[in-house]
Amino acid sequence: MALEHARGRYILLLNPDTAVGPSALDRMLAFLDSRPDVGVLGSPLVSDDGRDQGVAGRGFPTPLAFLFGRTTILTRLFPNNRFSARFSSRRDPARGQPYEVDWVSGACMMVRRDAVTQVGMLDPAYFLMWEDADWCFRMKQAGWKVYCAHEADVVHREGASRNAGWYPLLLATVAFHRGAYHYYRRHIVPRALHPAHLFVMAGLIGRTLLVLTTRSIKRLARTG
């Protein structure tokens, strides 16, 4: 893992499908230099067309995220409800100062080396998704703060690889729901034997099939 070989005082995680605005990283560095208590600093993400992706810092997932997560049907139908607001935060261009959140997207995340030394690396049990939420959770448990900087402009071509073919779509969808279950077992209900595990697993499997079916129909409609 490249993280294990990084030697700087900060480590930057940046997806290959992102483009960082001028001076954004300099501003992030300056903030971290001024706040030794902050272990992670993230950025809001926007699409190529300027559409806000709703990841300007979010609350840690709870069972309610199954219904009111960033991409769920209820959130799309009722985007301003108070439950969805916890799991999806919009960029505010007028917000000049970074502010504290639960977790930020790993698509653009600057992490303090001292925090990584204390908390450890990203959990390899996750694949593609949820490792950023897990990492921020562990950072918070260790006493580090997580912040989001609205002035750091980052364009993210979210889903570009998923839209490239059937296999990437299948891989990403399965990885998302598998990661969600791993996060649930580690941070929400860690007990080895609990009746809720079966319901959560069944719900995630059902949602996996629903998402794959819906996206496949949309793909056929575009290509047909």
Share the mean pLDDT of the chain.
84
Model pLDDT for residues 72-130, shown as the tens digit of each residue? 777 777 877 777 777 777 666 666 788 899 999 998 999 999 999 999 999 999 988 89
10-residue stretch averages of pLDDT, the chain, 224 residues long: 78 89 87 96 84 78 76 76 73 74 91 95 90 96 93 73 69 90 92 90 91 82 69
pLDDT for the residue numbered 36: 96
Q: How are strands ordered across the β-sheet holding 18-20? A: 18-20, 154-156, 45-46
What single letter denotes the amino acid at residue 14?
A: L
Kindly state the helix (H) or strand (E) to which residue 111 belongs, with its residue range.
strand 108-112
**Cα–Cα distance measured from residue 223 to residue 81, given in angstroms and rounded to the nearest whole number:** 34
Q: Residue 42 in contact with residue 91, Cβ under 8 Å?
A: no
Domain boundaries of the chain, sorted by first residue? 2-156, 162-223
pTM over 0.75: yes
Q: What is the CATH number of domain 2-156?
A: 3.90.550.60
Residue 171 phi/psi, 5-degree rounding, is -60, -50
Q: Which single residue is written with the structure tokens 């300099």?
A: 26
Question: What pLDDT score was predicted for residue 202?
Answer: 93
Token pair recorded at residue 148:
């989001």
> What is the distance in angstroms between the CA of the first residue and the CA of the last residue of the chain?
41
For residues 32 and 148, is the Cβ–Cβ distance under 8 A? no
Q: For position 57, what pLDDT does the model report? A: 79
d(CA 171, CA 75) in angstroms, rounded, equals 24
